[in-house]
Chains A and B, each alone.
Chain A
Amino acid sequence: MSYEQQLDATFAALADPTRRAILARLASGEASVHELAEPFSMSQPAISKHLKVLERAGLIRRGRDAQRRPARIEAKPLREANMWIERYRELWEANYARLDNLLEELKAKED
């Protein structure tokens, strides 16, 4: 996949709240479909479908163990996507820090 295609796939995979939750769970360690199905109250086939999307996007890897095939997080594509989001967030943080100061000034005037 090209860099652009990789980013597209990453953002598409991250657009779904269940998939974001699965990634957050996998950030604390690998898990099998069975182990993921329970906390998300979803069927194993439904979880498998989400894992396939994440795997195609390169966000996770599946283990070789034929029984469990534990899913593991892949850090690099997420970093690429987060790099954008993180820089974008920094812009807003700078704006909102100034807005905090302005609001304090306005509140003091109202008192």
Chain B
Amino acid sequence: MPKPVDVSTPSDREIRVARLFDAPAKLVWDCHTKPELIRRWMLGPPGWSMPVCEVDLRVGGAYRYRWRSDADGTEFGSSGIHTEIAPFERIVTTERMEGFDGEAVNTLVFEEADGRTTATITMLFASKEARDGALQSGMSDGMAMGYDRMDDILAELAAA
């Protein structure tokens, strides 16, 4: 069974995504910071690959990601700078996404307990419009949504 991903909007400029992994913080950290590992999972919807994944893991160092749709060659990129690095615990980065105005600040926190690790990403956008644009990008492949999960969703919103 996949573990639930908790998505919440703590303020009108933020999105927060949290997920528990059955692995120690060091491994989860490696998967978020080593290009050869990142490009094996950070791929988005099915049918996309990650031809560019560069990470200079130093404060002031840049990262650059680029995705490509195998179906029609559409590309999408994202890049930024590391502004804070606390190994195995916390990374703060700036992010600019192609096609979106303004810069976001992403705070990624790893919390380990009993050999399992919760990774929480909080994305702070320049404006509410930018936040909503990022949320809407999740709609891009136009998949129909089931409306039958109201109770679950409300319970998650309440717990957030």
> Which A residues are closer than 8 A to B by beta carbons?
7-8, 11-12, 14-15, 17, 20-21, 23-25, 27, 75, 78-79, 82-103, 106-107, 110
Contacts and interface: CB of A to CB of B under 8 A. Distances in A.
B86 interface: no
A17 B9 contact: no
A5 B97 CA distance: 25
B128 A8 contact: yes
Interface string B121-160: 0000000100010011111000101010111011101101
Per DSSP, chain A at the interface is: helix
Interface of B: 2-3, 5, 7, 9-12, 15, 17, 19, 21-23, 27-28, 30-31, 37, 40-46, 128, 132, 135-139, 143, 145, 147, 149-151, 153-155, 157-158, 160
A92 to B, nearest CB: 5
B47 to A, nearest CB: 11
A55 to B, nearest CB: 17
B27 A92 contact: no
Given A20-B160, A95-B44, A107-B23, A85 B5 contact: no
Given A91-B138, A103-B22, A106-B27, A86 B9 contact: no
B31 A7 contact: no
30 contacts: A7-B132, A11-B12, A11-B132, A15-B9, A15-B10, A15-B11, A20-B158, A23-B157, A23-B158, A27-B151, A27-B155, A84-B136, A88-B15, A89-B5, A90-B143, A92-B7, A94-B46, A95-B43, A99-B41, A100-B21, A102-B31, A103-B27, A103-B28, A106-B23, A106-B27, A106-B30, A106-B37, A107-B23, A107-B27, A110-B27
The 5 residue pairs across chains A and B that have the minimum distance between CB atoms: A24-B158, A88-B138, A98-B41, A87-B138, A103-B23
Given A15-B11, A88-B138, A93-B2, A106 B31 contact: yes
Contact of B150 (A27, A97, A107): A27
Given A82-B153, A103-B22, A96 B5 contact: yes
